[in-house]
Amino acid sequence: MIGLVDCNNFFVSCERVFSPSLEGRPVVVLSNNDGCIVALSNEAKAMGLTRGTPYFKVRAMAESHGVVALSGNHRLYGDISDRVMSVLRSLVPAMEIYSIDEAFLFFDQSTGCLDEFGRYISDTVKRYTGIPVSVGIASTKTLAKVAARFAKKYSGYHGACMIGDDASRQRALELTGIGDVWGIGRRQCAHLQRMNVTTAAQFAAMERDMVRRHFTVTGEKTWRELNGEPCIELHQTPADRKSISSSRSFSRDIYDFDELREAVCTFAAIAARKLRRQQSLAMELQVMIRTNRFHQQLPQYSAESREKLADASADTMIISAAATNALKRIYKPGYGYKKASVTITRMTGRDGVQQSLFCDMRDSARRQRLMDVVDEINDQIAGGAALRLASARTPNSLIPHRTVADVKSGSVDILRPDRGLKRD
């Protein structure tokens, strides 16, 4: 059997751990630039607020109703997530961390009465971390998701719901809207509704061939899982990322090339840091820039460009230089750019890399040591960006909430890639 643990209103619950006065009050957590609502407390949901809503559209209403709106503190959420996951790890033989606030658990035969154990998991996580969670237990991941939804929705379950036999599976699917099924998004939901399929039970009762034809193999997998056949396996060890990206919307439009370049170099540095964390090297990256798509009265432009690296690298300076090259190819003056991104699109492991004929191995070893030192310093200093390239000194006012949050003043610009590194 498989369990799904889902933290309730995770970002809001994290804030409440440190500010108990938020308990019982409507709270929302906002995205970068305080743009959109990304998490809500039950009280805020009850007022009709929804995830994804641009905050400026509801601000007046929210303020008049005493809603507490918070800018996201992602470092805090990451730390609390680690704590939740380690509590879970101590309770089960195997698990898969699925997202910052969700994990799949694996139960073997010896686990005993799972219904009761689910409630024990919920109580234990709450006791050790302060985070309320919902636990769903069933024979497949998709059914565990369905079960967790019931555990979250109805307090009578005391935090855990199990779909243990065919009768309860059937009943649960009848009570689940097709749009609430994991793997059925907006498009497929609309498609199914046109076919008069509105509940998970109706979907599960469709002909398999028909599902395959209309919704491809992905839809078919969902169908099989709802019918109790496990086909999405449990991944115990997280796979290396196949792409790594860093992007932000800016707090105002950027027209100037140099300013845009500084932002792109900032994103390149963040992506390079993630790359080093998973011990990979970039072989190719892509830079994207675009104007504000919500301001259609202004001239619109968006473009992407790829750049191959001569030698695979995780060096911030090399990656920033490559990103700058790509940016130069697509930048057009006269447009107000609102967003940019750097994505590492192709990478390889650190060992067994084929270097080009002209690669100076000694130099690249030195550069790698330099990056290790920069990472070590940045990891120790609050904010994580005490040391950065001079080309990446984007003001915090432009990119307010970095993933490595709360960059403090006092940053030192010591590395100038345009002049190269001084020996020793």
Partner DNA sequence: TCTGGGGTCCTAGGACCC
Sites of contact with DNA (CB under 7 A) = 31-33, 35-36, 38, 51-52, 54, 56, 98-102, 145, 181-189, 216-218, 239, 241-249, 251-252, 270, 274, 292, 294-295, 339, 341, 343, 403
* CB 96 within 8 Å of CB 104: yes
Q: How far is CA 228 from the centre of its chain?
A: 29
Q: Name the strand (E) or helix (H) holding 293.
A: none
| CB of 345 vs DNA, minimal distance in Å | 8
| CB of 192 vs DNA, minimal distance in Å | 9
Q: Which is nearer to DNA, 217 or 310 (CB)?
A: 217
| DSSP bridge partners of 162 | 137
> In this structure, what token pair is assigned to residue 286?
């892509």
| DSSP bridge partners of 281 | 348
| CB of 94 vs DNA, minimal distance in Å | 19
Length of the chain: 424
Q: Which is nearer to DNA, 52 or 352 (CB)?
A: 52
| DSSP bridge partners of 339 | 249, 290
The position carrying tokens 């491809």 is 216
Q: How many C-beta atoms surround the C-beta of residue 41 within 10 A? A: 26
* CB 340 within 8 Å of CB 392: no
Q: Which is nearer to DNA, 42 or 369 (CB)?
A: 42
How are beta strands 412-415 and 387-389 bridged, if at all?
parallel
Q: Which is nearer to DNA, 30 or 201 (CB)?
A: 30
| CB of 243 vs DNA, minimal distance in Å | 4
| CB of 346 vs DNA, minimal distance in Å | 8
Distance CA 102, CA 402 (A): 23
Q: Which is nearer to DNA, 32 or 324 (CB)?
A: 32
- 3 state SS for 138-203: ECCHHHHHHHHHHHHHCHHHCCEEECCCHHHHHHHHHCCEHHHCCCCCHHHHHHHHHCCCCEHHHH
| CB of 154 vs DNA, minimal distance in Å | 19
Q: How many C-beta atoms surround the C-beta of residue 412 within 10 A? A: 10
Q: Which is nearer to DNA, 366 or 406 (CB)?
A: 406
Distance CA 284, CA 346 (A): 5
* CB 200 within 8 Å of CB 212: no
Q: Name the strand (E) or helix (H) holding 188.
A: helix 186-194
| CB of 364 vs DNA, minimal distance in Å | 24
Q: Which is nearer to DNA, 16 or 149 (CB)?
A: 149
- Written as one string, the DSSP assignment of 323-391 is HHHHHHHH--TT--EEEEEEEEEEEEESSSPPPPTT--HHHHHHHHHHHHHHHHHHHHSTTS-SEEEGG
| CB of 53 vs DNA, minimal distance in Å | 8
Q: Which is nearer to DNA, 111 or 407 (CB)?
A: 407
Q: Which is nearer to DNA, 60 or 167 (CB)?
A: 60
| CB of 115 vs DNA, minimal distance in Å | 23
Sheet holding 160-162, edge to edge: 94-99, 102-106, 2-7, 133-138, 160-162
Q: Which is nearer to DNA, 99 or 236 (CB)?
A: 99
Distance CA 251, CA 242 (A): 29
| CB of 130 vs DNA, minimal distance in Å | 19
